Amino acid sequence: MESNNSRSFFGDFKKYLPLLQNLAGKDFKLKYRRSILGIAWSILNPLLTMLVLTVVFGYLFGIGRGTYADVPDFAVFYIVGASMWNFFSEATTGSMTSVTAAASLIKKVYIPKYIFPLEKCLFALINFAFSLIAVAIVMIARSQFPGVTLVMLPVPVIYCLLFATGISLFLSAVTVYFNDVIHLYSVVLTLWMYLTTLIYPLSLVETWKGTSVIMTVVVTVIKYNPMSMYLTMFRDVVMNNTWPSLEQHLWCFGYGILAMLIGVFTFKKLQKNFILNI
């Protein structure tokens, strides 16, 4: 029964795939319209952010100067992780208002409503692909080159895409009924970022474990944070030349499937009355 429901939920996906591609292309053009540098901002933005944070954390805080074995070079450590984090952040943030923003179109013609959050995830994936150019520039400049493990690069991306899509479906459905979710999620996303190993290595926070009950809980949350796991796997295959373990695959894939199940279930339940609330 559940299998049939899942097939019916995505039953029109192939039919509306051209629309999905057109919407993503439209968003891409709108983002860089009237911009002098245009698409170059997809590369410059992570580079400029990396330069600022390298000064603050890489030098002032000592991360990446040999203090922590996990971060021999903070610039590379940050930009590799940031490319994945920005992909997730952009996908979920953009998806929140995707259904309400398409109200005029939804009221005129039948379109599977999940197309709109999926399009935002696809758009974020395209921007992520361009951000990899910035990653390559920094790694070459710092004389760090990926090894054969680079062939595994699509795997953590697919895992993170599953997770981001599930979260996006959930957020886009709930936002139709509760607009406050937009403001709340911005706070949650900021907290989430600081609880993710984006600007610090896990080895740093693990030194806090055991100092108090609260710090032990914080370290555990950071360690098993889905985004920490996606960033770790991505860094392993891109910069550490390390093959992901079976445990990493199980955790990352499991988080992705769980998010998809929750997202699809929530979207299916709430979409029936979208038309009355948008």
DSSP code for 101: H
Q: 146: left (phi > 0), else alpha (psi -120 to 50), else beta?
A: beta
Phi, psi (5° rounding) for residue 258?
A: -60, -45
pLDDT number for residue 4: 47
At residue 103, the pLDDT reads: 86
Distance of CA 40 to the CA centre of its chain: 21
pLDDT at 60: 60
Residue whose tokens read 């610039």: 75
Under-70 pLDDT residues of the chain: 1-9, 11, 32-39, 58-70
For residue 257, what pLDDT is reported?
97
CA–CA distance, 272 with 155 (Å, rounded to integer): 34
Q: Are 61 and 153 spatial neighbours (Cβ–Cβ below 8 Å)?
A: no
- Give residue-wise pLDDT tens across range 160-206: 999 999 999 999 999 999 999 999 999 999 999 999 999 888 888 88
